[in-house]
Structure 1
C-alpha cells in the first residue's frame, strides 16, 4: 500500500527519532543521459532542479577496494550456500536469547534481569573464536562490549572506524505471544525469512558487523586503520548503562573527533521512492524530550465538586496540545531538503510532482511562504520536518467518590532537526500558561518556580536532548560510504547521542530493503529477509576495506 508520491505510508507515518535525510540514487548518471527530457516548466522552476540536471546531488563514484583478493574472498563466501546456512543459524541462535531491556531495570549487578546478557556474550565468544583471538575485548559496565582490532598505523595519524550495534531488544508481552506467526524467541527460518524479536532490531545488524570482522580476519587481511565494534546493552531504554559508558571510554581513549567514521542502525535502508531506488542514509537525528504535566488542586467529597477538577483541567490542556501541533516548514537546514533535491533530478520526471519541484528554488532562496507551502504539499511526510508530539500516559484520581488532588500526563516529543529544546518548551509554556490563568491556578514552567499553591499547573522536562548535529556529506568518510553502497548493494525493484564528540561523521544506514513497517521492528512478527541479511557482511567488510584504502601508506 502506498500514498501519493509513491512513498510508502508506513515510512511517512512513523514517529521516528532517526531522520532519513540524504538519499543516494543507485542509477548511474551515464544511464540517465539516455532518458533526459528537458521541458519548460512554469517560470518558478529553476534549471538546476530540472530532471537530469548534473549540477545537483552528484553521485559518488562506485568505490572498489584495492585489495581485490580479500574482496573476492568475501564475495565468494557470502554467495556460498553453506556459508549462508551458517550465518542464518548464527542469527537464529542469537534471537533465541531473550535479551529484553525494561524501563524499570535496576542497576547492573543488582537487578537479575541483566544477567541474560551474560548469555549473549557467551554466545558471541562461542561463535566467533577468531575475533576473540585477534581483537581485544573490553567490558564496559559489565555488559557493554568493545572489540578492538588494532591497525598497523597509529590511531593518532589514522583515526579508527567504529561500528555500533546493540544486544538488547524490546520486550514481548506475554499476552501478545499468541499473535506471533512463529514464537518470538524461536528464531524460526522458513527458507526465505528469519522470524523473531531482534531479527531486524538489532541482532541482524550485530551479527553482520561481527561477521564482517571475522571474514576479514579469515581472509588474511591486515588492517592499517584500527577497527572497533561496540555492542551496547540498553539501546531500547536510553543507553545510560552501556552506550554512555562505552562512549566515555572511547572518548578517553581517542579524544574529541578521534573517530574517522561511525556507522549505526537507524535508517530506512533501501527504498523505492518516486519510481527510483535510493539508499536512505541518515545524516541527522531528531531531538528528544518527555514532558510531564502535573495539575494539583484540593480534594474533597465527590458530592460537592468544583466546576473543574484536576482531571478536567488536565483534559483541557491535552486538548489544547493536540489542537496546536507544531507548525511545519521545510528549510535548507533540514536534510530532507537534500533528499528532495536528489529526487528532483534522479527520479523519473513523470514521477516527481511539479507542485514540489517548483518550490525548491524558492525554498533555497529563503522564502518562508514557500517553506510552508512545501511542507503542506508534503503533509504525509510531516514528521520528517516537524516536531512530533504524542500524549502517551495519563494518571488521575484514586477513588470514584473522591475529588482528585493530582492529575498528570506525559507527552513524548521528537524535535525537528532545525528546532531546539528551548523552542519546544517556550511553545508549551505559552500554550498552557493562559489555561492556568483561566482557572486561577499558579503556573510553574520548565525553569521558573511557582508559589507553594495547592492549585497549580507545573511542567517538567525529562531526557531533554537537542537534535544531533548534521553529519557532513562532503567529507571523505561519506564519499567512502556512498561509493561502498553503490559497489555492494543492488538497485531495488523494490544510540548515537552519546558519541557526538567522537566524530562528525556519524551515519545511520541499514543495508537491506526494509519493508512492512520497518520489518515490523518493535511489534508482532518481526522478521528479516534471509537473502538480504546474508549479504550484509559484504557491505560492512567492503566499507572497512575502502576506509582502509584512505590511510596514507
Structure 2
C-alpha cells in the first residue's frame, strides 16, 4: 500500500511520496508540467486505495479532485479542502525542496505546510476510518484544488458542481490558521487560530511613461523617478486602522494568557481600540497587518539596458484589503496619496474581503465553530482556540457563495520560522505535528453530529 520505512509511520511515507512530485503552478498554462500533476493523481490513488474505491470522484477543471463520502445523513454536509499545487522553489534550501527528506524529526519540502500536508492528513484520516468501517454522520466532500497558488479556476468549478447538486455545506474547512507558536508578543501558549474571514486581495500596476532616451542626457523627473516618488508616497501613507469583531474576540481570549501589563488592554480591546491599534502597528509587520490594509511593492520593470533611460517604468503592488475597506476605496486612496496624474493605475485583479463566518463569543455559541474549537482542545490541549482574520487568500473564498460557515485552519503546530518558510525556503513540518494533524481530522469526522 505504501513505501513506509519500518521506522516511519505510513502517513509520513505517503506525505514524502507526494511532496517529491513537483506540482508547481504557473499563471501561464504552457509553463505547467501537466505530467507532474497527472503523476500526483496516480500516486494519490496508489497511496489511498480505499478512498478512491469507496468514495465517488469527480475530476474538476484540469487536475482538481472532488470526492463524495456518503454519510448517514445529507442534511448538513461538510467540505474539507486542500490544494495539491505549490509555488516555485527559490532560496538556499538546507534539503532539496522536492526530496521529502526526514531529518531530525522534520519532513522537508515544498508543500509540507502549504498545502500537501493538509491534503495527505485529510486523506489519511479518511482512509483510516474507511479501514475501520466507519460511516460519517453527515455527507463529507473532499475538494482538492490544483491551481490555488495562481487564483485559478478549480475551486470555482467545484463550487459550481456542488451548487448544481444542491449541496449547501453546513461548514467548510480549508487551510489558513494553525496551532501558532510565537504568534503574539508575550503570550507563551500557542494559539489555535481559525480564520473566520480572509482579507481581500488586489494587484495593481503603477506605470509612469515618458520620452526615454540616451542615459548621457537625462531629463529631470523621468518615468523611473516619478514612479519611485509615487511608491515612497504610498509607503508613507498607509490606510486607516480598524479592529473587526473577530480580532476583538481573539484579543479577549488571549487576555488571560498575556503579560500582566497587556491584560487590561486586550481584555478591554473594544473600549481601548485606538490605543490597541497604535500598539499593534508598532509591534511589527505581522501585528500591523492585523489592523489595516497592506501594500507590498513586489515587481519592478524599467529600462532594458543600463545606458537607456526607461520610456516606461512599472511597479506591481500586492494589496491585502482589510474588512471595512473595499477595492474601490483602495484605488481612491492610491490615487490620492500618489497625487500624480501622470501615474497610470491599472487594476490587475481584485477580490473583496470574504464574509465573516459565525463564531462563538462569550455570549453566543455557534455549533459548527464550537465543534472546531472542541476538537482543537482535544488534540492540542495547550492551545487557545480563537477566531481571527486571515491575512492571505485561499480557495475557500469561493465557497462563501454556497456556505455561510467557511473556516480556515490547518491542524499543525507551526513556529514563527515555519510560518515564514511558507512561499519561501526551508519549508518543513514536524513528524509528530503532522501526525497530530491526521488525528485532528479523524476526530473532527468522528465528532460530526447526527
Q: TM-score, normalised by structure 2?
A: 0.88
Quote the Cα distance in structure 1 between the aligned partners of 2:54 and 2:8: 24
The change in CA–CA distance for 1:223 and 1:303 in structure 2 (over 3 A counts) is: closer
Does residue 236 of structure 1 match 2:149?
yes
Q: Secondary structure at the match of 1:160?
A: strand
8 Å Cα contact 1:151/1:222 also seen in 2: yes
How far off its partner does 1:286 sit? 0.9
Partner Cα separation in structure 1 for residue 156 and residue 136 of structure 2: 27
List gaps (5 residues or longer) in structure 1. 1-80, 437-442, 444-455
Evaluate the alpha carbon distance shift between residue 285 and residue 327 of structure 1 in structure 2; reply closer, same or farther with a 3 A threshold. Answer: same
CA distance in structure 1 between the aligned counterparts of 2:177 and 2:108, rounded to whole angstroms: 20
CA distance in 1, matches of 2:53, 2:164: 25
**Structure 2: unaligned runs, 5 residues or longer:** 361-365, 385-394
Q: Say which of 63, 67, 72 aligns to 1:152.
A: 72
Equivalent residue for 1:523, pick from 409, 424, 430: 424
Mapped partners of 2:215, 2:422: distance in 1: 45
Residue 425 of structure 1 deviates from its aligned partner by 1.2
Aligned to 2:21: 97
1:392 Cα deviation from its structure 2 partner: 1.1
Q: Distance in 2 between matches of 1:300 and 1:529?
A: 55
In the alignment of these two chains, the number of paired residues is 423
Higher alpha-carbon Rg: 1
Match of 2:176 among 256, 260, 266: 266
How many Å separate the matches in 1 of 2:114 and 2:62?
22
Pairs within 5 Å for 1:125-136? 125-136=45-56
Cα distance, 1:397 vs structure 2:
2.4
Give 2:241's aligned residue.
Answer: 328
Please state how far the C-alpha of 1:358 moved relative to its aligned partner: 4.1
Query: Which of 198, 204, 210 is the aligned partner of 2:117?
Result: 204
* SS, match of residue 265 in structure 1: strand
Partner of 1:409: 315
Hey, which bits of structure 1, 4+ residues long, moved more than 6 A? none
Q: Hey, what's the Cα distance between the residues in 2 that align with 1:492 and 1:230?
A: 27
Match in the other structure for 2:292: 386
**Do 2:179 and 2:383's aligned partners in 1 also have CA atoms closer than 8 Å?**
no
Contact 2:100 2:109 (8 Å CA) reproduced: yes
CA distance in structure 1 between the aligned counterparts of 2:153 and 2:369, rounded to whole angstroms? 30
Tell me, yes or no, if the aligned pair for 1:159 and 1:259 is still in contact at 8 Å: yes
C-alpha distance after superposition, 1:340-360 (max 9, x if no partner): 11112x316xx1434x62475
1:283 corresponds to:
196
C-alpha displacement of 1:461:
1.2
SS state at 1:429 partner: helix
1:71-121 Cα deviation digits (max 9, x unpaired): xxxxxxxxxx97962111111111111111123334xxxx66122110111
Shift of 1:529: 0.5
Q: Aligned runs of 1:394-473 on 2, under 5 Å?
A: 394-433=300-339, 436=340, 443=341, 456-473=342-359
**8 Å CA contact 1:387, 1:415 repeated in 2:** yes
Partner of 2:219: 306
User: SS in structure 1 opposite 2:411?
Assistant: coil
- C-alpha deviations, 1:462-516, integer Å up to 9, x for none? 22111111111142111111111122223169x2121111212111112221012
Counterparts in 2 of 1:276 and 1:113: CA distance versus 1, 3 Å:
closer
Q: What CA distance in whole angstroms lies between the structure 1 residues aligned with 2:181 and 2:148?
A: 25
Distance verdict in 2 for CA 1:202–1:419, change over 3 Å: same
Is 1:165 matched with 2:82? yes
Cα distance, 1:315 vs structure 2: 1.4
Task: Tell me the equivalent position of 1:53.
Answer: none
- Quickly say closer, same or farther: Cα 1:398–1:200, change in 2 above 3 A: closer
Higher strand share: 2
Whole-Å separation in 2 of the counterparts to 1:496 and 1:372: 32
Once residues 83 and 262 of structure 1 are traced to their aligned partners in structure 2, the CA distance between those partners, rounded to angstroms, is 35
- Given that residues 334 and 418 in structure 1 are in contact (C-alpha distance below 8 angstroms), is that contact kept between their aligned partners in structure 2? no
1:254 aligns with 2:254: no
The residue aligned with 1:353 is 261
Q: Post-superposition shift, 1:278? A: 2.8
Q: For 1:116-131, what aligned pairs fall within 5 Å after superposition? A: 116-131=36-51
Cα distance between partner residues in 2 of 1:276 and 1:142: 42
Structure 2 residue matching 1:364: 3-state secondary structure: coil
Instruction: Give the RMSD, CA atoms, in angstroms.
Output: 2.3
Distance 1:141 1:266 in 2: 23
CA drift of 1:232 comes to: 0.7
